[in-house]
Chain A
Amino acid sequence: MNDDRVIFDNVSRFYGEVLGVNRVTLNIAPGITSLVGPNGSGKTTLMNLMAGLVHPSRGSISVLGIRPTEPHKLFGVLGYSTQFDSFPRGMTGFEFVCSFLSLYGFSSAQSKKLADESIGRVRLGEAANRKIAGYSKGMRQRIRLAQSIAHDPRVLVLDEPLNGLDPLVRAETLSLFRQYAAQGRHVFVSSHILHEVDVISDRVILLNSGYVMAEGSIQGVRGELQDLPTQVLVRCDRPTDLASKVFAQNLVVEARILTDRSGLVIKTNEPDRLYRAINHAVMEGLEVLSVAPVDDDVNSVYGYLIGSEGSTR
């Protein structure tokens, strides 16, 4: 059954020539799913795609069996707290939550009741009747969270929800996410720091430069990262010959000759054997100017995401 799942089927999104996300295929069960990656990795794009705020250039998305192009159905089950730190002018926190609830078809009395409840859940009751313009960053974060949970959604999408929260509120907020997940709902949380969310996550999706680098439980993701291929840039005079040679030895996942034919990029799972093969080719007369890992991206990104606590490499 796909009616309780969030599904991305080969989804790509380009902003002109800039890549948002590329060929994302995910099938996500209820629970807490953390989207982790550095700035610009595609976390927000993925969330915006899920909510229909941007449309995929390719592929399709389904949230509990509903397409994001059907907002009248989708937002009955989905709540989204975006990263945009802006609000309609002149409103108090209570007015903000309450007035947008009126667009859900709730009566005035129901809207007020739900607004009160959700504001209480994020511990903002005392500030509810103050203008949002006077709120601190953490309070603005919480009022957005209150607005996204007010209609009791089955899918909660939260873009960097822990930004600006003090440790106590952060702990309360994480506890709120756990409660939601325990009720069989989806909670999507984005963060650029893995250890901030890995303790509560049932599932982690690691993103970098628009690609899903790894997906699964936190233990599985650590293992998957170590199995990813390494890219090596070789600058040499006869890149085609070198490509044939390394392909013949079955060392290569992918090889790409540079457009100016000054070298090639080789993707390999066995970097040590590849380096030995390149040395051998040099002894046979190949003129090599340089050999270097392209970006060492898996290692560097993983190290960046995990921080000093979790490095396994």
Chain B
Amino acid sequence: MNTAHTRGLTTVLAVTRLTLRKTFFARRSLWVYLLAFAPLFLFTAHTFLAPRDETRLTKIAAENRVSSKALASIRLGARIEDVVNKLGEPYQRHDRQRRIEGGPGNDGKLIDRATLRYTDGKLDVAFRFTDRVLDSVNRKSPGTLADDTLIFATVFQLYFLRLAVFFGCVGIFTNLFRGEMLDKSLHFFLLTPMRRETLLLGKFLSGLIATIVIFTLSAALQYLVVLARYDRAAVTEFMAAQGWSHLRDYAGVTALACVAYGSVFLGAGLFFKNPIIPAAVVLVWEAANVFVPITLKKLGIIYYLQSLCPVVATPDIDMPAILKLLISDAPPVSAFGALLSLGTITVLLILAACFRARQLEINYGTD
């Protein structure tokens, strides 16, 4: 490496060092931590509450056990009498009446609602009836290790990648330049002997370090917390078989999401005075990724990230329809293809951002 390259690298690291403290500890970054660690709180709560649930269900099942097969045979539209005939008396029943507005005045239609709860010792199933007809079923399970890792995969793809990492990158990367313009302190960087590209890379690196540390740490902790309530031998076996490689993959996908979304929002912070508008556009585009033809899917970052996830999130039968839609049913692209595409998107966006950085002017009055 020649002297110029060494000097450039030293300067990139100096910019990163100068920006990093601000990126990690800025007041406006607080909500990024909340987004990142919210699922960790939920999984931790699940880890503590699930064993209590298991004990409760086992106790109930000892007195009111129904078979898993019988529970699975109940279909929507069944009448309450038929369900009771088939499964016997529930371990818990709740009846109530509700008046539905039928027009002007106090006249309305009275409807009967009932909830019947059964358990086979593993699943806690709630059948909900309206006017004695079954209209919804809610299955709750304290879970198995396989169930919980699948839940983790679903949360990871539906919430963590699409919302937490996405908005975290919006918050951190758009502020690398735009935030300094609002604070009127960007000119101090522009008045030092470095190319604008060097400044951009230094700031991008500081954003990457912050987001990767925050989000991969959160993802890894979530994964480990999910496993924490299971028997040590079972966990050791699971980790040796697939757990460690899954954990590595989740961490890698999280880091790649930070790189790709980071480059998008670094550019947004440079090209737009109000980066929330491009962020909203990208959010809509990423959400619409599941509906568009495969050719257009390839223009979305989420498609490649989901392709790299180690577990395919499968829609649960009780999952709300709107969430089911967010689970991509497109054939995943190969790992190499996904990496190459994400790399290409990132490089193109960084090049565009470099071009913009060279033209950047300090005009705080209008920013």
Specify which of A15, A55, A99, A104 is in contact with B359 (CB 8 Å cutoff): A55
User: B190: CB under 8 A from chain A?
Assistant: yes
**B195 touching A86, Cβ below 8 Å:** no
Q: Is the CB of A54 within 8 A of B362?
A: yes
User: Smallest distance from the beta carbon of A83 to chain B beta carbons, Å?
Assistant: 10
Residues 328-363 of B at the A interface (beta carbon under 8 Å): 358-359, 361-363
Contact with A along B21-35 (1 / 0, CB 8 A): 010000000000000
Task: Give CA–CA (A48, B187) in the complex, Å.
Answer: 10
CA distance A306 to B38 in the complex (A): 65
**Interface code A63-94, partner B: CB below 8 Å = 1, 0 otherwise?**
00000010111111001101010111100000
B198 adjacent to A72 (CB under 8 Å): yes
A55 to B190, CA, bound (A): 13
Most chain A C-beta atoms within 10 Å of own C-beta, residue among B191, B198, B362: B191
Q: Out of A48, A55, A105, A148, name the residue touching B7 (CB < 8 Å).
A: A105
Given contacts A102-B14, A103-B18, A105-B10, whether A88 and B185 have CB atoms under 8 Å apart is yes
Complex contacts, A55 vs chain B, CB 8 Å = 359, 361
Docked complex Cα distance between A28 and B90 (Å):
95
Q: Name A69's closest neighbour in chain B (CB-CB).
A: B358
Q: A103 and B194: CB pair below 8 A? A: yes
* Contact pick for B192, options A48, A82, A84, A104, CB 8 Å: A104
* Chain B residues near A76 (CB-CB < 8 A): 193
Q: Tell whether A51 is near chain B: CB-to-CB under 8 Å.
A: yes
Q: CA A79 – CA B192 in complex, angstroms?
A: 9
The reply to whether the CB of B189 lies closer than 8 angstroms to some CB of chain A is: yes
Which of chain B's residues have a CB closer than 8 A to the CB of A100? 18, 188, 192
Provide the residues of chain B in CB contact with A176, threshold 8 Å: none
> Do A48 and B362 touch (CB < 8 A)?
yes
CA distance A76 to B363 in the complex (A): 23
Whether a CB of chain A sits under 8 angstroms from the CB of B48 is no
Asked whether, in the complex, the Cβ of B187 is within 8 Å of the Cβ of A84, the reply is yes
Pairwise interchain contact B17-A71, C-beta atoms closer than 8 A: no
Q: Which residues of A contact B188 (CB under 8 A)?
A: 87-88, 100, 147
**A53 interfacial contact with B, CB 8 Å:** yes
**Is there a chain A Cβ closer than 8 Å to B95's Cβ?**
no
Measured CB to CB, the closest approach of chain A to B42, in angstroms, equals 34
Min CB gap A10→B, angstroms: 20
How far apart sit A15 and B195, CA to CA, in the bound complex (Å)? 24
Most buried by B among A71, A73, A147: A71
> Which residues in B have their C-beta under 8 angstroms from that of A82?
187, 191
Asked whether A103 and B187 contact (CB < 8 A) given A88-B22, A89-B22, the answer is no
Complex CA distance for A312 and B141, rounded to whole angstroms:
94
Contact A72 B195 (CB under 8 A): yes
Interface string of B45-87 (1 = CB under 8 A from A): 0000000000000000000000000000000000000000000
Complexed CA–CA distance, A69 and B195 (Å): 9
Contact status B187-A53, CB under 8 Å: yes
B196 at interface, CB cutoff 8 A: yes
Which residues from B are CB-within-8-Å of A87?
185, 188
B98 at the interface (CB under 8 A from A): no
Of chain A, the residue at the smallest CB distance from B25 is A90
CB distance B18 to A71 under 8 Å? no
A89, B184: Cα distance in complex, Å:
11
Give chain A interface residues in 143-168, CB to chain B under 8 Å.
147-148
B15 at the interface (CB under 8 A from A): yes
CA distance A69 to B194 in the complex (A): 11
Q: CB distance A103 to B195 under 8 Å? A: no
Contact yes or no, A71 B185, CB < 8 A? no
Closest Cβ of chain B to A97, distance in Å, is 11
A15 contacts B363, CB within 8 Å? yes
B239 to chain A: closest CB distance in Å? 42
Which residue numbers of A lie inside 8 Å of B, CB to CB? 15, 48, 51-55, 69, 71-76, 79-80, 82, 84, 86-89, 99-100, 102-105, 147-148
9 pairs of A and B residues whose beta carbons are closest in the complex: A86-B184, A75-B193, A103-B192, A53-B362, A102-B14, A76-B193, A54-B361, A72-B195, A88-B185
Report B's interface with A, CB cutoff 8 A. Answer: 7, 10-11, 14-15, 17-18, 22, 183-185, 187-196, 198, 358-359, 361-364, 366
9 contacts between A and B (CB under 8 A): A15-B363, A71-B195, A72-B194, A79-B191, A88-B18, A89-B22, A100-B18, A102-B14, A102-B17
In addition to A15-B363, A72-B198, A79-B191, 12 A-B residue pairs with Cβ atoms within 8 Å of each other are: A71-B192, A71-B193, A71-B196, A75-B191, A76-B193, A82-B187, A84-B184, A84-B187, A88-B185, A102-B14, A103-B189, A147-B188
